Amino acid sequence: MRLAVCILLAAAVAAASTAQDEPHSYRNFKLIRINPENDATLSYLKSLYEEESPYTLDFWQPPSHVGGVVDLTVAPSDASSLIRDLSARGIHYIVAIHDLQKAIESEKSLTSWAHPPKGFGYERYNSVDEIYNELKRLKRERPSLITLIDIGQTHENRTMLVVKIGGGQSLDEDAPSVWLDAGIHAREWIAPATAMFIVRELVEGYDVDPKLQAMIDHVPFYILPVMNPDGYEYSRTSDRMWRKNRRPAECQHKDWHTVCCRGVDLNRNFDWYWAVSFLPYFSASGSSSDSCHDTYHGPAAFSEPESMAVRDFLEAYPPKAFISLHSYSQMWLIPFGHRRRSYPADYSSALRPLALRATKALEAVHGTKYQVGTGADLMYEASGGSHDWAKGALKVPFSYLIELRPRNTLFGNGFLLPEREIAPVGNETWAAIRVVADEVFSQFAQPSLRGKAGKKPETPLSLHKLGLRGTSTEQTTAASRSEPTVTETDAPTTVSPSTTVQPETATVTIQPRTVVVVESTVTPVTLATVTCEDYGSYCRLWKVFNLCDRRAVHKLCALTCNPQCRV
Ligand code: 0X9
Ligand code: ZN
């Protein structure tokens, strides 16, 4: 499989250099979605992902564990043989997208096809230039609220532009702040769009929401809406499914071929267990040393101008919260992601309770449900990630990675989220991020404001006069206890030093740990009202994709979904 990818990418590099204006066509490529139900299916999928495979595949969600949804795209020429192979092995799958090119074209809203818009739009997927021009326009309109900071240049000499909102025009390394970046992975377009949506929420909210104003005055936001501008532009003009940055090609000799591939996965390039894999076998999702792979970690930690620029800025102005926007799968990820069952010391006391409160606020907006946990526990182990580095090395108190919409059930379009979802995603994500910012405000800004006001620490703060919600650690913990959708069982907690790879890192290892995420809100139906019949194979498929918790599915598929029917 990897060789196929290498040759394919080498061909893509060559094609791109000869005919730059012809974007890669995904006509009739399929998105296949599989929920591996057993170890045999899982190892088969892993062999397709990690070893040579006869098919041209691109894994959008790599195989990790039984029950973890796998999304892969297949070229039209290989689709029927792959599907025959899956069926022969008894593997349940769905074709979530029949024609990827059509889905790419449907990302744009109908109105924008009919009337191609000029310039920037908050409910559109914009170019880097459009985004930067909008930031410059905002700066001209609100010079005292907004500061633009050029933090570095990319391989292709694009500027990495951070917008600072609030906190005055000078940079203060001691002021508590919130960092938000997006677009570290080029093809995850919803992330930069959401970051820009949040920029607008902050700027417009500042004038009309006194609580927000008080918060931003003391806790500025630093927002990097496009962390990988070269890759993002490449995904707009040449290959919609590009993920990495655009580091110039590195060539390797393989058998009788020389293959040259561009790009580094920036979310494997941070100095947190960089290039380390804890799995007993090669795991490409973890971090790959193959420059042709989508998770290539680069020649050294921080080898890339983009990750280096972010590191240098954050080391100079360390924030109290670090949030990195990605897509997709609706997960709120907490460090550490490099290894299963590895958690920072304040995972259960601070990071997770705040994540639960944030996702609860998110759900309250449109009913969107998120899973909460570490990337390694919920997805796959991956080293060199930015949010792990922010927590583990930089010691940022609250560090998260958010995998935005959609979820990977049934017909979600993966990375190709239609533009009409930008506003709902923006609104709900802002509600969650505001919870995090409020927490930073009450933990890190309020105490010094109290000091300045010359009041005793116990005195209820003047911010309460402004109607600001006090969020003490105690409240946070209580909130997590009453969170109804998550149950957690911890065995006795042991504190062990980390491995020798990273200095001074105490890692709390909780073994064994079972996190049961219950997403169902279905009211149990009593047997008396249930006819234990259903639509057979459809229902089994829906069950495989965890859709029994949908009220309609639960009703139509009583025999399959309702445990009472199986007694
Ligand atoms: O693989 C990544 O970098 C992230 N997923 S994405 O589909 N947006 O590329 C997830 C990283 C989270 N960490 C772990 N899974 N360990
Ligand atoms: Zn990503």
Q: Please choose from 267, 272, 340 the residue to mutate so as to test ligand 1's pocket, defined by most ligand atoms within 8 A of CB.
A: 267
In the prediction, which pLDDT does 284 show? Answer: 54
Report whether 420 contacts 109 (CB < 8 A): yes
Integer-rounded Cα Rg, in Å, for the chain is: 24
Cβ–ligand 1 contact at 381 (below 6 Å): yes
3-class secondary structure per residue, 137-199: HHHHHCCCCEEEEEEEECCCCCEEEEEEECCCCCCCCCCCCEEEEECCCCCCCHHHHHHHHHH
381 is catalytic: no
**Could you report the per-residue pLDDT of 34-65, keeping only the tens digit for each?**
999 999 999 999 989 877 788 999 999 999 99
Residues 6 or more apart whose CB falls under 8 angstroms from that of 291 comprise 249, 250, 252, 261, 263, 264
In the prediction, which pLDDT does 324 show? Answer: 99
Cβ–ligand 1 contact at 379 (below 6 Å): yes
Cβ–ligand 1 contact at 261 (below 6 Å): no
Among candidate residues 516, 499, 504, 503, the one with its CA nearest the CA of residue 342: 499
Report whether 368 contacts 405 (CB < 8 A): yes
Under-70 pLDDT residues of the chain: 1-21, 110-116, 279-285, 454-530, 566-567
Tell me the ligand closest to 270's alpha carbon: 1
In the prediction, which pLDDT does 565 show? Answer: 79
In the prediction, which pLDDT does 466 show? Answer: 29
Give the atom of ligand 1 at the shortest distance from the alpha carbon of 60. Answer: 7
Tell me the ligand closest to 328's alpha carbon: 1
C-beta neighbour count of 93 within 10 angstroms: 19
**Could you report the per-residue pLDDT of 284-324, keeping only the tens digit for each?**
558 899 899 999 999 999 999 999 999 999 999 999 999 99
Selected catalytic residue, list 403, 421, 428, 439: 403
Cβ–ligand 1 contact at 377 (below 6 Å): no
| Residue 327 Cα to ligand 1 middle (Å) | 9
Which residue's CA is the nearest one to ligand 1's atom 16? 337
Euclidean distance between CA atoms 254 and 309, whole angstroms: 33
Q: Is 452 exposed, middle or buried (0-12, 13-18, 19+ CB in 10 A)?
A: exposed
Cβ–ligand 1 contact at 263 (below 6 Å): no
In the prediction, which pLDDT does 446 show? Answer: 82
H-run or E-run covering 310: helix 305-316
In the prediction, which pLDDT does 17 show? Answer: 41
In the prediction, which pLDDT does 112 show? Answer: 65
| Residue 185 Cα to ligand 2 middle (Å) | 5
Among candidate residues 474, 563, 477, the one with its CA nearest the CA of residue 520: 563
Give the atom of ligand 1 at the shortest distance from the alpha carbon of 286. Answer: 16
Give the atom of ligand 1 at the shortest distance from the alpha carbon of 336. Answer: 16
Q: Please choose from 333, 343, 377, 415 the residue to mutate so as to test ligand 1's pocket, defined by most ligand atoms within 8 A of CB.
A: 333
Cβ–ligand 1 contact at 268 (below 6 Å): no
Cβ–ligand 1 contact at 176 (below 6 Å): no
Tell me the ligand closest to 295's alpha carbon: 1
3-class secondary structure per residue, 52-120: CCCCCEEEEECCCCCCCCEEEEECHHHHHHHHHHHHHCCCCEEEEECCHHHHHHHCCCHHHHHCCCCCC
In the prediction, which pLDDT does 538 show? Answer: 79
Among candidate residues 444, 416, 303, 428, the one with its CA nearest the CA of residue 367: 428
Tell me the ligand closest to 184's alpha carbon: 2
In the prediction, which pLDDT does 202 show? Answer: 98
Give the atom of ligand 1 at the shortest distance from the alpha carbon of 267. Answer: 3
Which residue's CA is the nearest one to ligand 1's atom 14? 375
Cβ–ligand 1 contact at 326 (below 6 Å): yes
In the prediction, which pLDDT does 384 show? Answer: 97
* pTM score of the predicted model: 0.80
